[in-house]
A = this chain, B = another copy of it.
Amino acid sequence: MKRKAICLLSGGLDSTTLLFYLREMDYELLALSVGYGQRHVRELAAGLLIAREAQVPILQLNLGILGPLLKGSSQTSFDVPVPEGHYSADNMAITVVPNRNMILLSLATAWAISERANLVAYAAHIGDHDQYPDCRQVFIDALREAIKLCDNNPPELIAPFSKIPKAKIVSLAETLKVPLHLTYSCYSGGEKHCGRCGTCVERAEAFYLAGVTDPTEYEDAEYWKKVIPDYELKK
């Protein structure tokens, strides 16, 4: 019998690549996508198209009602502007959504128990560590322990990308023929990627470092080069 996995799918580059990576590993897959009142709700539409392309059943929950619990982030409070600059810059701290990953992973875990799935997977990567406490290895390890104890037949939490940088995810995506043109990363949430927010800069930089052509259309396609460190541009 195939092992079964629930994959958190935001519609971004990392979780999409994870979905195709797990599919390649021959897991039976289910995708979980959650609206939590995010400014970049555009990613939810991307998630649907990606799941269709991957032929993976997707459960999309719109929990916009969670808004009052998640105040203070630029991604959930529309009166807090989305910062521009490099993904790892100090001003990106405002983009952290309080305890988002524990909420999403606890929902995925519940679904995994209901579906008797073996794994719950999410796509935290090493570049997330600077800003997002709930992407760090210590958090992943601690939550994995809690998940082991939450039920008599719990799934295992995995984060296969937690020790690699985003550029490696882009390389892997190319190998796996992931439809990266369908993915959406922009924090500003417009129809096109803005090119100036932390995730747009991180995205453009990752394609550059991986030596893969970036299919993304950015409003400002030059900005990222001004904010990534010099030594990277010289690579």
Interface residue ranges, A against B (CB under 8 Å)? 59, 61-63, 65-66, 68-72, 93, 96, 98-103, 105-107, 109-111, 113-114, 133-134, 136, 138-139, 142-143, 145-152, 154
Q: Tell me, rounded to whole Å, the shortest Cβ–Cβ distance linking A121 to chain B.
A: 16
Q: Which of chain B's residues has its CB closest to A109's CB?
A: B99
Q: Are A102 and B69 in contact (CB under 8 A)?
A: no
* Complex: A107 Cα to B110 Cα, angstroms: 14
Select A70's contact among B63, B66, B110, B147, beta carbons within 8 Å.
B110
Would B99 and A68 count as touching, CB distance under 8 A?
A: no
- In the bound assembly, the distance between CA atoms of A66 and B113 in angstroms comes to 14
Beyond A101-B150, A102-B102, A102-B146, 8 additional contacts (C-beta under 8 Å) are A68-B111, A69-B114, A99-B151, A106-B106, A133-B152, A134-B150, A142-B148, A146-B146
Q: Which residues of B contact A98 (CB under 8 A)?
A: 109-111, 113-114, 151
Q: Are A146 and B152 in contact (CB under 8 A)?
A: no
- Pairs of residues from A and B, 7 with the lowest C-beta to C-beta distance, nearest first: A98-B113, A99-B110, A142-B146, A102-B106, A69-B111, A71-B114, A139-B149
B99 x A106 contact (CB < 8 A) = yes
